[in-house]
A and B are shown apart, each in its own frame.
Chain A
Amino acid sequence: MYQFEINRILKLDVGGLDLSFTNSSLFMVLGVSLICGFLYFAMSGRSLVPGRLQSLAELSYEFIANMVRDNVGTEGMKYFPFVFTLFVFILTLNLLGMMPYSFTVTSHIIVTFALAALVFVVVTAIGFARHGVGFLRLFVPEGVPMVVLPLIVVIELLSYLIRPVSLSVRLFANMLAGHTMMKVFAGFVIALGIAGVAPFIVMVGLTAFEILVAVLQAFIFTVLTCIYLNDAVNLHEH
């Protein structure tokens, strides 16, 4: 479990609060630098017919833009920077964790909870800013008989409030379980000596699977953010 330990690199104590620069912060800074550097250098050519590198940047833009337009509608494009940042940040952090000897930032619940809480607060604020108190109509679906209405409203409210929890725990548990499993199988490879070829083959497959999960979980987090945005922006209209 040492791979999940947080080590302070630069100790900094501000009035009782521990604001040290940790290995978690280091990988977050590294992720942001990689994203900004890649996007800046890829688009610096600015050619009308993109080369390979510029195509990559444009493809990632198109991918998220289509996701936002499909799920939220053309009005949702004003929230595109937020959704794009979320996607590339989580994707980069997840993939950086797959490098040997690195640290997976998203394998800590506090990090994923901060991201999910941010999404929840932003979506709720957008809902209230757009519709005022009428945003609460989200919890009253149409065509519900008056008899079961109180129960339905309570259930809808609870399932709305559980969103940040499920969003954060999904990402956190996927990353934690994946890396723990990799460590366990890697232990088998060493422990079995010459017969360690069998768990080694499993490790190859597992690493491929974990890279898929890293990309998939970033995608899922972003798609769910778009779906929640759609709930807030276009209450129940389709």
Chain B
Amino acid sequence: MDASAAKMIGAGIACLGLIGAGIGIGNIFGNYLNGALRNPSAADAQFARVLVGAAFAEALGLFALVIAILILYS
């Protein structure tokens, strides 16, 4: 197997890390909706924190994407 083919396969496998990002973000928003439906008056105050949490979870998925791009282009 030559290097460029291995790079493509490596980049594809590195993208599997985005599964974790999807699960994490879904988890955060699902829990927020759960709580918001029980206590709607307290929901708006916490929305900023939901976005911060989602950004953390998304960041880890994007680290996997960065590794994939690094493998593919260097």
| Residues in A lying within 8 Å of B, measured CB to CB | 166, 169-170, 172-174, 176-177, 216-217, 219-220, 223-224
CB-based contact A216/B66 at 8 Å: no
Query: Within 8 Å CB of A219, what residues of B?
Result: 51
Query: Within 8 Å CB of B65, what residues of A?
Result: 173, 177
Contact partner, B52, options A169, A173, A224, Cβ 8 Å: A224
B28 at the interface (CB under 8 A from A): no
CA distance A166 to B65 in the complex (A): 13
How would you classify the secondary structure of chain A's contact residues: helix, strand, loop or mixed? helix
CA distance A174 to B65 in the complex (A): 10
The verdict on A220 contacting B52 (CB below 8 Å), with A169-B62, A174-B62 known, is yes
CA distance A169 to B55 in the complex (A): 12
CB-based contact B62/A223 at 8 Å: no
Contact partner, A223, options B52, B59, B69, Cβ 8 Å: B52
CA distance A174 to B48 in the complex (A): 19
CB-based contact A223/B63 at 8 Å: no
The verdict on A220 contacting B66 (CB below 8 Å), with A166-B59, A169-B59, A170-B59 known, is no
CB-based contact B51/A173 at 8 Å: no
Query: Within 8 Å CB of B55, what residues of A?
Result: 170, 216-217, 220
Query: Within 8 Å CB of A173, what residues of B?
Result: 59, 62-63, 65-66
CA distance A220 to B65 in the complex (A): 19
